[in-house]
Amino acid sequence: PYTARGLLWYQGENNAGRATDFAALLPHFLATCRTDWQKPDWPIFLGQLSSPTKAFPDDQDAYALIREAQRATAVADPHGGFVVTLDY
């Protein structure tokens, strides 16, 4: 019985090093969200993997590949968007 106008999804640190899998699974995740909520045109915005912290030190190559997978998924989705959070 819930309603929502869209979804903002932030996730990725634990996928660093597995960008190929992440890039393949992310579009399926978005499709599943829309199916489960019965909203095929639901806007979903992806929050970019942010700046490193002590808990998640930046592995530049691995993080860059995750960020690219997030960006590519968002721009390929006609109802998607991308929130840039990188600040360095």
Confidence (pTM):
0.83
Distance CA(76)–CA(80), nearest Å, equals 8
- Beta strand residue intervals within 1-83, DSSP E: 7-10, 44-47, 80-83
Distance CA(58)–CA(80), nearest Å, equals 26
Amino acid identity, position 81:
G
pLDDT per position as a tens digit, 22-79: 999 999 999 999 999 999 999 999 999 876 666 666 666 778 888 999 999 999 999 9
Distance CA(50)–CA(63), nearest Å, equals 9
Distance CA(36)–CA(4), nearest Å, equals 13
- Beta strand residue intervals within 11-79, DSSP E: 44-47
